[in-house]
Structure 1
Amino acid sequence: MSDPAPDSKRDMPVVHLLPNLLTITAICAGLTAIRFGFQGDFETAVRLVLLAMVLDGLDGRLARLMNCQSPFGAELDSLADFLNFGVAPGLILYFWALQDFSAGWLAVLGYTICCVLRLARFNVTSKSDAAETENNFFEGVPSPAGALLAMLPMYVSFLFSDMPSPPPLFVTIYLLVIGYMMISRVPTFSFKNVSVSPGYAKFLMLGFVLLLSALLIYLWATLTLMSIIYIASLALAFRTARKST
C-alpha cells in the first residue's frame, strides 16, 4: 500500500491512495460495528465486521496490483486488522451475550490479546527469510478467520431465532478457544499460493458467484456452513502438514 508521506521527492498519483483509503474505510466499518453492537443492533454489527473483512482482502491485493506497497500501508493494515478482527468481534460478543457474566470480560480481553499477538508474530515472520506467507500453511488461525469463527454463535442464533441464546459460559469458553487457536502453532491452510489450471478457472469463478449469491440470500446459513467447513479444514491441514514434513 502507498505511503502518503509529505516529504516525498516526487508527486504521488492520487490513485495510489486507493489501497490506504480502503483500509481506512475498513477501520470506519469496524468502529461503526462496535457502535451498532453497543446499541443492540447485532445483525448490522456483524455485517459491518464482514464488510471490513472484504475490504481487508482487497486493499493489499490492490496495492500489489498497482505496485504501490509501502511500510506505511503495511502498518496501517495491521492496525486495522487489530481493530476489526480483535477488538470489534470481542466487544460485539460482549454486548450480545457476556455483559451479565463476570468472566465474560476476561474472555474478551484474552481473545483480543491473542489477536494482537497473532498479528505481531505474523508481522515479524513475514519480514524474515522463512516468511509464513511464502508457505502453503500459516501457523495458527489468521486474524480474519479468527473473527469469522468467533462470531459463529451469533450466526447460529440469527439463523435459528426461535432457539434460546447460548449460555454465557459456553460463549466465554468458545471465545477463549478461538483466541488460543490464533496464537497456537497449529498449521492452517494458506491460499495465497494456490494456483488453478486454465481449464478449471471457469469452475472456480462459478463457485465464487454461487458463494456470493448464497451470502447475499442466505447470509447466516452460509456463514455458519463456512465456519464449520473451516473448522473441519484445520484437521485436514494438520494431517497434510505432518505428511509434508
Structure 2
Amino acid sequence: MAQPPKYRSELHLAQLLPNLITFSAMCAGLTGIRFAIFGQFEAAVGMILVAAVLDGLDGRIARLLRSESEIGAELDSLVDFVNFGVAPGLIIYMWGLHGLQSGGWIATLIYASCCLLRLARFNIGNRPNLLEVGDKPASSNFTGVPSPAGAMLALLPTYVGFLAPSAGVLPPPLLALYMVLIGGLMISRFPTPSFKSVTFYAENVRYVIVGFVALVAALLTFPWETMVIITLGYVGVLLVSLWQARKDRRRTSAD
C-alpha cells in the first residue's frame, strides 16, 4: 500500500532572525568573558552592552515578524542569564573582586543566583496558570529590577574605574557588598518602571529620533561618561518608584 507523500513545512529566513539575534547576544556575552580573562576589561564591558542592545531587539523583531515561539522565549531567558548574570559577575570578579578571594566569589555567586531567580520569576509571571500571588504588579511596571538593568547597575563601578584609572578599583569588600545589593534589587518585590509602556504624541516623533541619535552618538564618542549618566539616571528613577510605592502602600493602608 502506497504511503501518502510527506510534506515538509517551510520557514522563511526572516522568521529565524529573532533567534539568530538571541544567539548573537549570547556570543557577545561569552566574548565579554573571554576579554575579561585576558584583562581587556573595557572590551569585556562593551560586549555586555552589545548583548543588552541585542536583547532589546530580539523580542521586538519577533513580534514585528509574528514569529514568536515558546523555544524563542526559553532561549531568550537562558541567554539573559548568561549575559546579565554569569558574564557581569565573572567580569566584576576578575576586575575587582579576586583580591577578596572566597568572599569575592561568594558575592559573585549570590549576584548570579539572584539574576537566575529574577528570570525564573519573570517567566512565571508570563504564565498566568503558574503565577504566584503578588508576583506581578501593574502591567506598566516590573517586579524588581530587570536582569539587563541589574547588569548595567552591577557594572557601574567599572564605568567609573575606566574614567578615573588613577583612583583605583573600589575596595573589594565594598564592591562585594555592592554586588549583593544589586542582586537583592533584582529579586525585590517593589515595582520598577517598564519603559516599554512609555508613549508620546505622534507629532513628537522627530524629537524622539533626534534624541535617540544624540544618545547613540554620545555612547560611541564618550561611552563610559554616557553610561555613568544613564545608570545614575536609572538609579534616580528607581528611588522615585520606591518612594511612590511606599506612598501608595500607606494610602492603601489608610483606606
TM-score of the pair, normalised by structure 1: 0.92
Q: Identify which of 172, 175, 178 aligns with 1:174.
A: 178
Per-residue deviation, residues 120-148 of structure 1 (Å, max 9, x unmatched): 00000122277849711111000000000
**2:145 corresponds to 1:141:** yes
Counterpart CA distance in 2 for 1:37 and 1:210 is: 29
Counterpart CA distance in 2 for 1:224 and 1:194 is: 22
Distance 1:169 1:156, change over 3 A: same
Counterpart residue identity of residue 127, structure 2: K
Preserved contact between residue 133 and residue 190 of structure 1 (Cα < 8 Å): no
Residue 119 of structure 1 aligns with which residue? 119
Q: Identify which of 224, 236, 246 aligns with 1:220.
A: 224
Structure 1 unpaired stretches of 5+: 1-6
Per-residue deviation, residues 69-89 of structure 1 (Å, max 9, x unmatched): 000000000000000000000
Deviation at 1:240, TM superposition (A): 3.5
Question: Which segments of structure 1 move beyond 6 Å, counting only runs of 4 or more?
Answer: none
Residue 236 of structure 2 aligns with which residue? 232
Residue 162 of structure 1 aligns with which residue? 166
Preserved contact between residue 19 and residue 62 of structure 1 (Cα < 8 Å): yes
Preserved contact between residue 137 and residue 143 of structure 2 (Cα < 8 Å): no
**Pairwise CA RMSD:** 1.9
Per-residue deviation, residues 176-228 of structure 1 (Å, max 9, x unmatched): 00000000012110011221111222222111111111101110001011111
TM-score of the pair, normalised by structure 2: 0.89
Preserved contact between residue 25 and residue 54 of structure 2 (Cα < 8 Å): yes
Deviation at 1:8, TM superposition (A): 9.4
Moved more, 124-133 or 105-114: 124-133
Work out the number of aligned pairs and report it.
239
SS of match in other structure, 1:196: coil
Structure 2 unpaired stretches of 5+: 1-5
